[in-house]
Structure 1
Amino acid sequence: LSISDHISETIFPIMRVYFEKPRTVAGWKGFINDPHMDNSFNMAEGMLEARKLLLKINEMGLAVGTEALDPFSPQYLGELISWYAIGARTTESQTHREMASGLSAPVGFKNGTDGLLATSINAIKASRHSHYFLGIYENGQSSIIKTKGNAYSHLVLRGGGGRPNFDTVSIMLAEKELEKAGLEKRIIVDCSHGNSMKNPALQPFVLKDCITQIVNGNTSICGVMLESNIHEGNQPIPEDLSQLKYGVSVTDACIDWETTEHALRQAHRKLLDKKLND
């Protein structure tokens, strides 16, 4: 927690803990779905171990962010989550828009894989409204759920369509689209995916650009997302699980902890200088 304490005056860190992985065709669907990574699909154990991990992280004093994918999962984990993302491929889903309207935390809708904003802006607007849908109560009983709407849903820019969208011009265009839709200008920039062209080494440069925009007066960028792990890169899941490298992602390629800490400390210094000079 030393880095968290060090940067707390300018940055509120939220640890990304993604238990569910959307798949275009096939592949490992995440820790809850298949905790042993052997196609045994012991979801009951996955959910229980997920709660244990979330409890430990929260007890450390760190907030947790995750992707909301399965519409039932929040009933089991919701009180331990401080921020949710809705992925680029599920932002268009009515089920996920309705679910977001009832989540007890801010929800960020990512722009589509084509890079366009219309889908995510429509999703934000839809999630602000009350909805009725089939779900489960806290005791597991099937029920009709009524939501109040989520006043804190917002836009996440993750690039797409072969180009990034974290630059000054893209941010200004996004601000105009949000204003046109009657929404607050709240934007989170995902430094990975299309914004780094899936090259994790570029993530710190995307972060640096966003911090520069804030220092120069931008008020709409309220957060950034980094894909980080203990060690850099990623690895396929081998048949012999004993060959897995510890601390290396089995999904998207990540920056390592040293790079993460350096990038956060650098961002903190720039934001602190701005704060002291204002």
Structure 2
Amino acid sequence: MSNKDTRIVDIKPLATPNEIAKIYPISDELSQQITESRRIVENILNGTDHRLLAVVGPCSIHDPDAALDYSDRLKALSDMISDQFYVVMRVYFEKPRTTVGWKGLILDPDMDGSYDIEKGLKTARSLLIEIAKKGLALGCEVLDPIIPQYIDELMSWSSIGARTTESQTHRTLASGLSVPVGFKNSTSGELTNAINAIKSAAAPASFIGINKDGQTVVLSTKGNNAGHLILRGGDKAPNYYEDDVEVAKKKLYDAGINPAIIIDCSHGNSRKNFSRQKRVLRNVLDQVLWGEKAIRGFMLESNIFEGNQPICGDKSTLKYGVSVTDACIGWDETERILVHGAQLLKKAERYGGVMEVL
């Protein structure tokens, strides 16, 4: 009796990145658009573009039709506020779990535990292409180290979550990604792991992965110099206040890292109350208005309709445009606070400091 794979119940072949890319190719024009969007994101992070990076979108994508609907709305809004905010649509297909739960559209596209991963990869790639064609920059969380080979050329920004920032696998993976990578502080609120991750990802590395033909290879990187810190709050307290930003900025300076900080308005900073995201954004913009240069952007969890809903057995009963993971603000609120925020910043440019409320 063999003692190999004693807990593996099934092994299925998976289409290679190149095979799926042939089904869902990207044009040279779209590729150039994405390259330009990456350049803009990097310029914002290094401070040569004065705008703020606004990473906005659903906590997770589970309904491609609703995602396209949302992207149409976000593109129109993005054009309205583009002089102050550079909008990146949050298109998250992977969801880390503390214990169990739905792991995202790529791993379980049918939301029933069937794990049709090839279907999920095809759905994700085709959806990213359709959204990018509208002219939006796209951001994804990187969780599985193989998945970027299927979708990386469509991303303009990416993040490493609080649960994986300490992982050596994800740090070396980030060192080879073609996009800027934001590292979130630990769920405890501690910053050291994220700062160490930024330094680690900036260095050359080698790791085992696959190439576009699906072959197992050793990938050697030159390092990613566009790593940055995402303040997402902690279990005990938020960390978006002025004092918190000053502490984070000093730690980045002391580590020899460009002090580029993104504030996550959700998660620990909102105390898991989606309606508080506007409160966080108001404080962030207030700091920017008073001259805080280290804040280079923010993140909002937003959907067509506010709140969230559980995943039940009958998927036809799911409410359209409502999150199935973290609760989000609705579209009307999203548009209102972003338009007003852009107006505040525009006034500040003209008159030197404006104090209003969202």
Normalised by the length of structure 2, the TM-score is: 0.77
Give the SS at the match of 1:101: helix
1:178 counterpart = 2:252: yes
Whole-Å separation in 2 of the counterparts to 1:140 and 1:257 = 40
The one-letter code of the counterpart of 2:172 is: E
For structure 1, the residue ranges without an aligned partner over 5 or more in a row are: none
Whole-Å separation in 1 of the counterparts to 2:140 and 2:260 = 19
Q: For residue 326 of structure 2, what is the aligned residue in structure 1? A: 252
Q: For residue 9 of structure 1, what is the aligned residue in structure 2? A: 83
Give the SS at the match of 1:114: coil
1:140 to 214, 239, 255: 214
Identity of aligned residues (%): 53
The one-letter code of the counterpart of 2:187 is: T
State the number of aligned residues. 278
Whole-Å separation in 2 of the counterparts to 1:25 and 1:175 = 33
Rg larger in structure: 2
Whole-Å separation in 1 of the counterparts to 2:278 and 2:137 = 22
4+ long deviations beyond 3 Å = none
Deviation of residue 40 (structure 1)? 1.3
Q: For residue 297 of structure 2, what is the aligned residue in structure 1? A: 223
Summarize deviations over 1:118-146 as a string: whole Å, max 9, x none: 00000000000010110011111110000
Any residues of structure 2 matched to 1:73-112 within 5 Å, and which? 73-112=147-186
Q: For residue 6 of structure 2, what is the aligned residue in structure 1? A: none
Q: For residue 279 of structure 2, what is the aligned residue in structure 1? A: 205
2:307 to 209, 233, 236: 233
Whole-Å separation in 1 of the counterparts to 2:268 and 2:102 = 22
Deviation of residue 241 (structure 1)? 1.2
Whole-Å separation in 2 of the counterparts to 1:153 and 1:109 = 7
Q: For residue 261 of structure 1, what is the aligned residue in structure 2? A: 335
The one-letter code of the counterpart of 1:71 is: P
Give the SS at the match of 1:126: helix
Q: For residue 104 of structure 2, what is the aligned residue in structure 1? A: 30
Deviation of residue 242 (structure 1)? 1.4
Deviation of residue 177 (structure 1)? 0.6
Deviation of residue 277 (structure 1)? 3.1
Q: For residue 195 of structure 1, what is the aligned residue in structure 2? A: 269
1:119 counterpart = 2:193: yes
Whole-Å separation in 2 of the counterparts to 1:212 and 1:23 = 34
Summarize deviations over 1:195-254 as a string: whole Å, max 9, x none: 000000000110111011001100000010000011111111001111111111001110
Whole-Å separation in 2 of the counterparts to 1:13 and 1:97 = 25
The one-letter code of the counterpart of 1:243 is: T
Whole-Å separation in 1 of the counterparts to 2:304 and 2:157 = 22
Q: For residue 167 of structure 1, what is the aligned residue in structure 2? A: 241
Any residues of structure 2 matched to 1:42-61 within 5 Å, and which? 42-61=116-135
Higher relative contact order (CA 8 A, sep 6+): 2
The one-letter code of the counterpart of 2:272 is: K
Give the SS at the match of 2:86: coil
Whole-Å separation in 2 of the counterparts to 1:261 and 1:137 = 41
CA RMSD of aligned residues (A): 0.8
The one-letter code of the counterpart of 2:169 is: T
Deviation of residue 160 (structure 1)? 0.1
